[in-house]
């Protein structure tokens, strides 16, 4: 499932949840969502923009509420500048945070969001079984993804296959799980 398709059905649900949490406390007519993007991840940026646009157009989701995205670009693994940008966004009243993807910066942002009780939505691969209280991962858990690969392999009766990843971080876990279950 592509990033756009995934966020197409998950993002409105999450934004409603976030909206309900925030609207009960402040009654604001707008909801500001923060997003930290890294240069090479244009697809995630477009997916968030599309999901917010769709949410704003579907008046059934958040009636009479406008969702706005405060976007900032960050350098991968630069947790210091990512934190500064997050702090500025919190001063502007964001109710949720997307990204970034790099491990160091994402871990730091997740910790800050948890401290300030800001929902942190991630779309990066993370092998941990559990999440922080205010953290939501939009990326499939590695065992679930491995089972999906296994089902496809069995269905098509493939004898050989390759799983290619953009990053090496996820390759070992998925391939080992697939080989162990086939």
Please write the tens of the pLDDT for every residue from 169-182.
Answer: 545 555 555 555 45
Sequence-ordered strand ranges (E) for 1-111: 30-38, 66-74, 94-98
Which of the residue ranges 82-91, 100-109, 142-151 has the most confident prediction, judged by mean pLDDT? 82-91
What is the rounded distance in angstroms from the CA atom of residue 118 to the CA atom of residue 133?
10
Lowest mean pLDDT among 19-23, 79-83, 95-99, 104-108: 19-23
pLDDT band at 168 (very low <50, low <70, confident <90, very high): very low
pLDDT band at 74 (very low <50, low <70, confident <90, very high): very high
What does the pLDDT average to over 72-88?
A: 92
What is the rounded distance in angstroms from the CA atom of residue 32 to the CA atom of residue 19?
10
Contacts (Cβ under 8 Å, ≥6 apart) of 165 = 171, 174
What is the rounded distance in angstroms from the CA atom of residue 133 to the CA atom of residue 1?
26
What does the pLDDT average to over 69-76?
A: 92
Give yes or no for residue 161 having a pLDDT over 60.
yes
pLDDT of 33: 92
For residues 4, 49, 127, 135, the Cα torsion angle rounded to the nearest 10 degrees is -130
Q: Report helix angle 171-181 to 142-156, nearest 10.
A: 50
pLDDT band at 116 (very low <50, low <70, confident <90, very high): confident
Q: Does residue 148 contact residue 133 with C-beta atoms inside 8 Å?
A: no
For residues 43, 44, 48, 53, the Cα torsion angle rounded to the nearest 10 degrees is 0
What does the pLDDT average to over 139-146?
A: 75
Give yes or no for residue 28 having a pLDDT over 50.
no
What does the pLDDT average to over 82-95?
A: 93
Q: Which two tokens stand for residue 87?
A: 């702090």
pLDDT band at 129 (very low <50, low <70, confident <90, very high): low
Contacts (Cβ under 8 Å, ≥6 apart) of 168 = none
């Amino acid at each position: 499932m592509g990033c756009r398709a995934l966020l197409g059905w998950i993002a409105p649900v999450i934004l409603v949840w976030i909206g309900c949490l925030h609207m009960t406390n402040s009654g604001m007519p707008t909801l500001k969502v923060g997003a930290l993007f890294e240069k090479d991840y244009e697809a995630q940026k477009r997916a968030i923009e599309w999901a917010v646009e769709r949410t704003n157009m579907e008046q059934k989701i958040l009636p009479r509420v406008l969702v706005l995205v405060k976007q900032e670009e960050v350098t991968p693994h630069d947790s210091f500048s990512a934190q500064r940008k997050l702090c500025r966004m919190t001063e502007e009243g964001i109710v949720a945070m997307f990204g970034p993807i790099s491990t160091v910066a994402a871990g730091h942002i997740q910790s800050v969001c948890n401290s300030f009780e800001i929902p942190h939505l991630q779309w990066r691969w993370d092998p941990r079984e559990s999440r922080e209280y205010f953290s939501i991962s939009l990326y499939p858990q590695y065992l679930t993804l491995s089972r999906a690969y296994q089902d496809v392999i069995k269905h098509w009766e493939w004898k050989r296959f390759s799983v290619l990843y953009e990053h090496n971080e996820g390759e070992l876990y998925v391939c080992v799980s697939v080989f162990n279950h086939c």
